[in-house]
Structure 1
Amino acid sequence: MKTLTKVKLINWHTFSNEEFEIYKNALITGENGTGKSTILDAIQYVLTAGKCKFNKAASDIGNRTLESYIRCKTGIEGHEFVRNGDVTTYIALEFYDEKTEKYQIIGTVIDLPAGGRLNRDFFQIIDCKISDVAFIEERRVLTRKEFKKALIDHQQTGIFKDTIKEGESLFGNALGVKSKYFDLVTRALAFKAIDNVYQFIVDFLLKEDFVDIQNLRDSIKHYKVLEEKLKISKKECESLEGVVSQYDTYLDTHFQMDVLECLKEKLQEKQLQAIIDNSQKKYQKINDQLNFVQQKLTQLNQDEETYQERYHRLDESLRENETYNLKNELQKESEQLKKEKEKKENSYQTLITEIKQEIQLLKKVKIPNSYIQILQNQDYQTETLTHAFRNIVEEVSKRTKDVTEKISHLKIEMTQTVDRFNEYCKEYDSLKENQLYYRKEIQELIQLLNEKLTSHYGKTIEVKPLCEYIEVKDEKWRNALEGYLNSQRFDLIIEPEYFEYALLVYEEYKNKRGIYGVGIVDVAKMSRYEDVDVKDTLASQLDCKNTYARWYVNMLLSKVQCVDDVTQLRNYDTAITPTCMLYKNYTARAINPRIYNKPYIGLGAIKIQLATIEQELENLKQEIKLQKANYEDLKNGQALLNQSKADHIFYRLDLIDEYHNLLKEYQEINDRYEKLILDDSLISLQEECDAVKKQLEKTKREKEDSLMKKGSLENNLETFKEQLEQTQEEYQLLHEKIVQFEMEHVDVTQVADQQVVIYLKRFSKDFNGMKNDIEQQGNGYQRKANQIENQIVMKMKDYNDAYNIGFENALTDIESYKQRYHQLKEMDIVSKEEKTRQAKLKCEESFKTSFISGLNEKIENAKKDIAELNKGLAQRDFNGETYEFCVSPTSRDDFKEYYKIIQSGKEYMVNNLLSETLSESQRRIMDDLFIKLSSVENDQETEQMLMEYTDYRNYLDYDIKIKYASGDFAYFSKVNKEKSGGETQTPFYVIMAASFEQVIRNRNQNEDFGCVVIFDEAFNNMDEQRIQEMIKFYNEREIQTFIAVPPSRASTIIPYVNTRLLVIKQGQQSFVEGFKDEQL
């Protein structure tokens, strides 16, 4: 122990040159105004390295200053100071080290020039007593400079410091005490009654020891920097997303314009087909009219010929005279047969024409040539024709059925091919946007979780499958990685704090939406896989962009050894070759290529899939083109077969024999009739001859009219035929154009075909109305496309202005924007998210280790310190009372919940990795505390808040339990207003002892310490027993007390102290008389 053994004062208020010895505990007394407080202030000034306020006990105002002490302010008018001019003051305290048996001096030397600025040094003089050091030479007080020189001249070691901070450090090392000692000295001297026991214990008993969260704050600052960079990248990505999404809208608009153009051409094709169909009907009508005129002309020719012939016969009959009755009979029969012949002849000629047309049709559909040759014979034998047409009808029917079935099957194949093409197009577009295309269940669960988690937590939460967080290092091992991971490539990686809610969502919707077989990884359970050895395993062949993905990969693949040859497989429990031969569970098997032929891992998989799909799309285009051509051929063949009238002809072949028989009979009757005409009487013959002549002339006139009508119809038919052929040619060109477009734009065609049905239903055959509607829509889409293009260019300009990238503000440079967007979204942001996540994890780990654990440790240490203090107090009787300091959890609402969790013994981590034992409400409470401590602001309010939350004392409540000899007890906080002075003073001195003990505890065992406590008017309300116990209490703790009391109280304390000092004043000079009792 280092004890204060002597005090020397030079030019300190009324003490000009005074020194007095001290042995252990000291009491100083004297009448008021003699200088007791002056001595206390001097000792206090050194022990606090100049931080104290003088005469605090005498007045709360603190009306004395350092200058008033040095110059000895009297307050007498005209003689305000005893010392004027240049003054040098010394306060020197001599300490003896009982362990080393050496002395040292600590003190201060102050120069106060007349009218000048005060200059001060704190000093330590090693291995010297006060009596060894020269402060005055030749009856003159040495100045600071002279004092330093004198020490050097006498080869004495002196250390000087000129600031309070340096002086505090110097004296702390000299005495072996902590920095808080200097504050406690002042507090002990300025004793006041305990009004607030909580605050009193906090101020005096518990050391001020804030949890050091600088590392946490540094980590948080780093995290905030990364987070800000991530926000900037996300903001840039959002800006680019505006450009890219608008461009997608622009493409959609042009797609709709393409659909309208295709729709327009398809409807035009329909219109031309309708015109052709209508024209063909009109053409047929004119042709029918022409046939009718032709038949009429034929009849007129026949009539003319008949009349002409009859006329000639009658003319000849005039020269003959045959039987009149026979002539009339034959005439009637002849006329009847003639009518029947004419009637049959029209049908006969129509049939013959149809047979000739059928021959041409059969040649086109390539009916066996043997049938055609039979039909081409001019000798139309009914039996032969019947046999031939029976075979033809069967062949046409068979051909028609075959073609119809082929068309039906081909349409199904075409639909399937187009569907495959469209599916590949969607997948291709997704891959071009660096988005892998997953099966329906995976895609739906990702979308569902993104929506539900974002809605539930009120912030954007993105869920991705494992394959998007990993990259293959060496393509040699891609197939092995793809094949071994198989469906686990699509397991979803979710931040651990969202797993439980994601699981509930999955459970709720799995049956509703048929989502099965997709995994959600519980990464919170996998932290032990962070640092596993992955050398030469499949896990080493993957780069991971996400910590949790790395844990999962390590779990799945760190036991799968990579070997180059199958002969090495048996050397390991689980091994695989680049050729996908797997050895596991003592079984070797080849992984099915179907699993790895379509890769999914990383951006490399996107490139491979793109190349594969591009080839597949090209193959499908060729397949669709071939199918379209086959379809056209089959449809043309079907149309020709549908034109066949073979069955109709077959059932009318009897007409040929009927016509031929009638013609023969008519000829025979007519021949007989003509013979009988020659036998008529001359008169009858002449009349008949005249009548026939008139009929002949009439027939000739009708013939001329019919010939004119025939010419007109033939001209019209030729003109109409040319127009029809022109329309058919126009139709054919448009049709070929549409077919070519369909082959190249399957997606557009599919939508256009749907619109064709809608338009035909809506507008019926109003093709002009359709055209006007399409043109109106097209103009609208064109305006929209122009507007979108302007918006895109503006967004491009805003982006370039904001980020100074240097892209062109035009659609021609859209690929640059898209590449930058995907670079940010798929790589930069993912990387920054991972760095930010790691930084956050570091913050959270620091929060747990630096703050939570540190705070808990300090709380536990405080409890232990108070428990240790209570052990000493338990056996100390203060006039029938013992004291116990009580510590309990704080009752403050803003701290008690934190205390419960901190003291619960449960580990806490904000990211939920180590907080499974905490309830949801407890996690929210600790998250809130973490957010408060995460503030990076440097304003006074924030600093105050941080000090409050890092001060372990705020998490506890304190009181003093007073135990009585009767066994009863009371709490000081409840009875302090009712207690006597001694009862309320005792806890103060107990707490002060404990406080000073704190500053000397845990000192270096090889070094001694010095702990001097100054009390002014101490124990003035305590009885002797309490005083005796209290001084013993201090002595046991090796605390040296220096007590000032008025003479009226000195007799009570004198028996318990070793040194008694009496202060006497004569005029403006004060002196100290000392008495020692070394027997105590």
Structure 2
Amino acid sequence: MKQAKKIITRMLINNWGGISHRMMEFHEYVNLFSGKSGSGKSTVMDAVQVVLYGSVSASFLNKAADDAKNRRSVMSYLRGAQKDGTSNRADQDFYSTLVLEVKDTGLHTTTCFGAVFEIGRTDMDINGKYAFFSHSGSIPEDGYLNADGVPYSKAQIRKLCETRKQSADNRGRVELNRIYPSREAYVATLYDVILGGVDPTRLMTMEKSAIALRMTNGTGQFIRDYMFPRSQESAIEKISEQLGAYREIKEKVEDLEERIHMLDTIHESHTALVSTRSDMVRAEAILKYIEIESTKAHLEARSQDLQGLKTKIGSLETEQKEKEKEQKSCQEALIEVSSRLKASDYGQKEKELQALKDKIVLLAGNSRQWRGIVEGLCAWEEDENVTGYVNNFALQLICEFRKGSVTEKQCQELARRLEEAASAVSEEYEDLGTSLRETGKDLAEKKEILEDLKNDRKHYDQKLKKARTQLEAALTNLYGKKVPVSVFADLFDITDEKWKNAVEGRMGRVKFSLITPPEYALDAAKLFRRMKQYQEIDLINTAAIKRDEPTAQSGTLYETVRTEEAYVDLCLKRYLGRIVKCETVEELDQVRDGVTPDCYSYSNYMFRHLREADYTTRACIGTKVSKEKLQELTDEVFRLEKEYQESIHLRDSLKRAMGFEKLGMDPAQLAALSKAAAQLEDAAKEQDGLEEELRELKNGTLMSELTTKQAELQEQESQIKERLAKIQTELLDQTKALGSAESDVKGYEEKLAILQEGFVENEELLAEVTENLETLSEAAYRNKKRQELVKFTEQEEQQREDRTRARNHFNQKYPVYDFADPDKDNDCYDQVLETCRRDFEPQFKEEFAKQCELVYASLRDNVIAAIHGEIKAAYRHARDINRLLSRIRFSDSVYQIEILPAQNENGQFYEMLTAKELDSKVMDNQGYEGQMSLLEDDFYQKYEQKIQLLTEKFMPPREEDASGLEKRRQEMERYADYRNYLTFSMYEKVENPDGSIRKNPVDEMAGRDSGGEGQNPKYVALLAGFAMLYMQQSSRDSKVRLVLLDEAFSKMDKERSEVCLRYARELELQLIVCVPDERLQSLIRNVDCVYGFRRYQNQISMMHIDKGSYLEMIAGEKEDGDEAGADETEDTVIE
């Protein structure tokens, strides 16, 4: 028995586009609209969509029919807007009606639904100007036109609905004779009742996709969304409460474990701190014992030293008294002998000789000083670089100084002239220093330029080099390949040497600009905008120059340059193509912009000389380094180096001259010094005479005895004095040592008293110290214990910081305990630790274990088992669809649907969700049979990690805003959707000659197959999707089977199109298909109803073509040929 369904039988259109009034009839299966582009097919298709979707939004209209001059809207259709800007119903009030008639083949009832519009001549907005309605029974015979041929208004529609309420056709369980107050009410009744219980959202989405065959995300995504709908039952609410409680107890357990861990850390750090402090006390006690014993030993030693010093001092004092007596006796005898010698001539001569010796010493010093002055004056004559600053008279005076005695006047005159020479030398030194700095700077710059030229590279400013490198790197990163950035001067050459300087000078700053090929210019400009540190550097917009296409005048500097790059040539035309080459000022006066070979320029009504630096030191134009410029610069550097070295030599000479003798002494003193040599010579002769006289007197007998006696007494006195001095020194040393010893003894006694004050001896520690001092020196033992104490101190400080840090961390996280004092003992923390371990931990652990089992059971029952069943159902559903698809064959191809595990991160759950263990657990009212604990459940043990990971996916969100909660909700719903763990696809099943089966994925074939082969699977999936949509509804009412296709089968041949149409028939689908005229002949044998569309004078005509007559015309069976067939076709038009 044939299954009941609902068929769209007729459509009525009043005042829509180029249609004033038309009634159209539709067949149960395939209905074809044929016509040229713009003939009106899409006009009718959009009318169907307005009624079917209950929407006047432009987004529901056929976008494939839009073009640049015709942006469609419901208002433009109502006005009858045309491409030429006119409208069929402009400046008038009118009503419009769009109605579809649907017939239920099971109940044999007919229902109409549609839209009514009331448009005023000035209305620009459609809001409030329309209403949707439905009524039982067929379309009225008047076609919704009153006696005057005017379409019904809202009031007339409402009256019609009231009338139909009383008719025999009103047999439905829901009242359909009404005008709906809103679109939502209309859509709800339309899809739930009139169309038989179809999901409106899925139907609208699929119809819009079908009209232009849009499967932007691929065939697999289309199959997933429309052929395998998700379950309507949500497991989120069932498990969210358990997961919330699970998380709460889990957080409590984690918090308890964290609290115990933190308190354990505090306890351990406190215990370690107490132990370290005990070690510190013991080490300090041992050091005190060592100090006491050391002090006792030092006190005893210094007491012995004190007694010895007192004995030594007494002995020295006795010896001192004896020597003083001997000294007094010796002095008395020496005085007597000396008196006798002085009374003789020998004594007087000896005094004269001593006075003369003193005078000779003074004269010798004066003579040496004079020789130094003369040598200093001679330096003015010897240095050739300095002699020029001294006049001849001064040089003559220097010669007089070398000879010897000079006058005060001569000294004054030479001093004045040397001061003048020194002043001139100083001024020259300052000037030479300035010149050297300038020459050095120039030389360094030219050396740097020369080094660049020798290495075949031009010398550019460092900022320019950095800017070029940085911009080139940025462009390379942007494009993923090397993008050249050059200096403008490097990309062209000057071919005429005569005008070289003029070109260099006029290019000025421009030649140092950065330049890129035009295709990169705009991006280069965007990047260069961020390089604000390069304010003195320019970037040429080659794209703009290329766009402007500048030209060069005849006789300009452009003729003197050459380049290989086309875009560089355009830049040269722009910058040099208007600068005229001139020889005289008169020629310059006749042009707007010009220059002469000697760099005299005229521009902007101003004459000026080009800057010399621009065409000398800053000249850089050329694709290669100039050999002539290299040689010229080499010679210039050699010359500058030579000048620089000579200037340095002269500067050093002048610097030395500034220190030459300038006779700064008093002239009288200088004159006296000049005579010292002669006076020294005379005094030496006088000394020789006196010494000879003394020798003669000394040879006498009495004088000889007195002299001998005097010498003996002097020697004796000297020995006594020497011994007394030693005794005095020893007494001072011993007295000082005595004071130090007394002070040390007193200090040690006081120190020992302080150390022993309040000290209680520990025999064990004392024995340990005594024992160690027998094997170790005091210093070694003390150092050892001090190192231990330092180590303990550092350790104590670190452990105290660790304990404070641990306590602060605990108090910050748990301020409720109010443990504010960081230095208090650890009892309060230990009490809390003991309480947590004794009271809280067992309780929370037990509660947590129960909650884990509850969550696992809920997750297993409500989510995992549900997804497991849905996945198995999906595989069964796929087998049913494949059996249906296997009956449809395109040439040698059969298309099949394939389901595989997801290839993304969700695929990790596939094995768990399809595990056989889930099949072995049969649910009853209490849950699973054989309920067991987590540790006994084989499924949990096998997939524990995946279960925990999936549990996190369903964990309810914490307090968030509405958007965050909704986003989290959607993510949880996605993980509850069984399709999330599967991959859907369609493949072409091909049997090879050897009987093996080959699978060709459809989405991969779409890129390499012909257009027809690429469309085959899309139409197969689309039609199967509609069939599944209409079969999967929960309502048992008969359903509509409508599918709208625009520009259908455009790339498919006749055979493939026939298979698709036959496939649609087998699926019991009702098609409305739009095709161009050229497709009519290949499709007409497989369609049931054909309308031919034509547009004439802004009116759309629809011809209902008789299929049999048309086929006879094609076969040539009529005698009148094509023309007669066309006439007969015209006779079948339904007005």
Report the TM range for the smaller structure's normalisation.
Answer: 0.3 to 0.5
Q: TM-score, normalised by structure 1?
A: 0.45
